[in-house]
Each structure stands twice: as C-alpha cells, then as structure tokens.
Amino acid sequence: MASDETMSELSQMSDDADQFFEGVEKLLEIWFATHDANEKNSDLRKIPRSKLESLLKIVRCEIISSVKNDHIDAYVLSESSMFVSKRRFILKTCGTTTPLLCLQPLLLLAEQYAGFTEVEDLFYSRKNYKRPDLQVTPHQHFDQEVALLDTLFPDGAAYCLGAVNRDCWYLYTLNPLPQHNRRPMLSTNEGDQTLEILMTDLDPEIMAIFTKEECLNATEATKKAGIDKIIPNMTIDDFLFEPCGYSMNGVSKNNSHEVLDGCYMTIHITPEQEFSYVSFETNVPASSYKEIIGKVLDTFKPGKFTVTVFTNQLSPTKDTSKELLCRTQIGNKWNRRDVQQISFKNYDLTYAFYTKFPS
C-alpha cells in the first residue's frame, strides 16, 4: 500500500531507527466486578506493589514515581502511566511495550488479591503507530492484538475509527448481546467519561521545553508550558527524561471538590521533531469539554490531532459529543477531517480528527 513517496520516507527513516521513539501509547482500561456480596471489600489497591512490579516487567517497563489520593494510585512509568483505583485499572504504555501480555496475570492478581472474579468492561485502544514495523508481537498489527484479546473475551468487538489509510484509532471493547441477562453493570450506576487528545506534528518551540537542554527539571517544564493551568486543583507528579521527553500524572487533591473525587489527568510528550507526539487524557466530568480541549490545543499547538470522548448515560459530559459534531473547525486553526459516533451498551463514543489549515 506504500506509495513511492512513502517508501523513500520509510527507507530514510529506517536509517535512523535507533533514534526513533514510538510515542503512540497502547491504552488498556479494565473495570472489574464480582458476584460476591462482599464486593465492597474488593479493591485492586490490595495488590502488593511487588506484584505490580512483576506485572510491569512482562510489559517491558517499570515504575519511576507515584502519587495517590483517597480514590486512586497514580504511577509514572518508564513508558507512560498506570492508574489503580478500587475496581478500575488503567495501563497506558508507549514505545515497544507489550501491555496485552500482562492481561492474564493481571486477571489472576485481581482475583487473588483484590477479590474480583469478573471483567465487567474493557477498553483497549491506540492510535495507528508511526512505525508499526518496530513493534513486537502481539502489537505489530491490530489483527494480532484482536486475535489475542479474542482468546480471552468471547464478547469482544474490534473497531477502527477514522480513515484506515490515513490517521485512525483502534478500539477493542466488550459488546455482549443484550439477552445475555447479565447482572446490571455497576458502571451504569455512576457517571463516567474519558477525554483523550492524541497530537502529532507539534510546535518545535513548545516541544523544546521538554528537553534537559531548556529545563532543569520536570517542575520547570510543567510551569513553563502551562500544564498546571489545564485542570486546576490537581496534585502533579511529573518527570523530565534524559535527554528529552516528559510524563505527568495529576490526581485531584483530596477534598478539593466533590465532583473531582477520583479524577485524574495524564500527559506524555515525545518532543523530537521527526516524530513529535503528545497525549492528553482525563476523566474530569464537565458539561462541556470545549474549554479543556481549547487549553490543551493552545498549550501544545499540534499540526494534527484526534479527539475521543467516551461518556456513559449518567455522565454530565454526555452532551459534549454534540459539540464535536458541530465543530467542523476549531479556533480558526484546525479543520475537521473525520467525525464518527458509535454506541456501546454502556458508553457512547465520539471520534474526531482535525488537521491544521495549510499555512
């Protein structure tokens, strides 16, 4: 499928494969449940730290920092982030990590230490890689990832949103038949939402902030870029890599505001110009995501970006998808190339892809 232009681009790139880093993350989010009446005692945070560390070895990354509040343990990893709360596990890892290989061991740990016997909901997603050829099994192709997931989840359904021959975004989730007569899902009893913005072709001057050349440490980079202003009242755990690269987790300050309880945000930055990539993710509820999206775009000034919004029926954010459907342009700078909506049992998903106006 590669045009001559792509071919020459590829061969040029393989010359500097050593310098390349895949910023695009694999994002795994699992909601656990149990049929046990003692569900209130079940808690993923009972899994010992040493067990989490062994799990991450399988994924090919490690914990480098952590922060917590009453609702969530947030870990900065050598490759992105991990969030552990009572019944939700989030693992977001970039580079050539292999998060799907930890699925089976994770299900065992969730049962053994946390008392969870069921996977109530699962979301595995990622943008198309810039260099799929550098990935390792089972992450070289979405079909490969789907094949592995299908062996574990009979109700799994795999989707591709956006144009498969341009920028797109893959998702695997559970989509069981309605008549399975399952126990009503807990997640339908609580509002939940996730906003993710995946950006490429970023402003080189802004990307320079996330290098040891320009900033002494992560705190300086966070302030200089204005990352601490995107969502206020967050305890920030940030890390500036050597010689460049940046990760941050934010968790809501205890008792900062009831609506923010259990909220997180996370940003990961690959600043190199040839393969610049920034991801932003949060589960902060809002009646509109217009302001947060605007702040993120002003902070990073991407050439292209995807926006995905998941909302369930109880989410205060559930009308924000209508905003995206109307916004064929954002900030008089970005044109929408694609917009798609999809409905699952508990969640509605909106996907949009924008590119900057040609200069």
In the annotated binding site for substrate, the residues are 21, 79, 241, 272
Residue list 298-327, contact with a second copy (CB under 8 A): 325
- Three-state DSSP at 209 gives helix
Of 297, 132, 63, nearest to 198 by C-alpha is 297
- Taking each helix axis as running N to C, give the angle between helix 103-112 and helix 49-59, from 0 to 180 degrees, rounded to the nearest 10: 170
Q: Is 143 a binder of a second copy (CB under 8 A)?
A: yes
Of 156, 191, 226, 316, the one binding a second copy (CB under 8 A) is 156
Paired tokens of 165: 């021959």
Question: What backbone phi and psi angles, to 5 degrees, belong to 300?
Answer: -110, -20
Of 1, 11, 38, 216, the one binding a second copy (CB under 8 A) is 1
81 is catalytic: no
User: Smallest distance from the beta carbon of 243 to a second copy, in angstroms?
Assistant: 36
268 is catalytic: yes
Contact characters 338-357, a second copy, x per CB under 8 A: xxxxxx-----------x-x
Of residues 268, 276, 315, 321, which has the active-site annotation?
Answer: 268
Dist. CA 211–CA 320, nearest whole Å: 35
User: Smallest distance from the beta carbon of 32 to a second copy, in angstroms?
Assistant: 23
User: Smallest distance from the beta carbon of 75 to a second copy, in angstroms?
Assistant: 31
Half-sphere exposure of 52 (CA within 13 A, CB side): 23
Beta-bridged to residue 119, according to DSSP, are 32
273 burial type by CB count under 10 A (0-12 exposed, 13-18 middle, 19+ buried): exposed
Question: What backbone phi and psi angles, to 5 degrees, belong to 296?
Answer: -65, -45
Nearer to a second copy, 4 or 258 (CB): 4
User: Smallest distance from the beta carbon of 342 to a second copy, in angstroms?
Assistant: 5
Q: Interface residues with a second copy (CB under 8 A)?
A: 1, 3, 142-143, 146-147, 150-151, 156-160, 162-166, 175, 177-179, 325, 328, 335, 337-343, 355, 357-358
Residues marked as catalytic: 80, 94, 247, 268
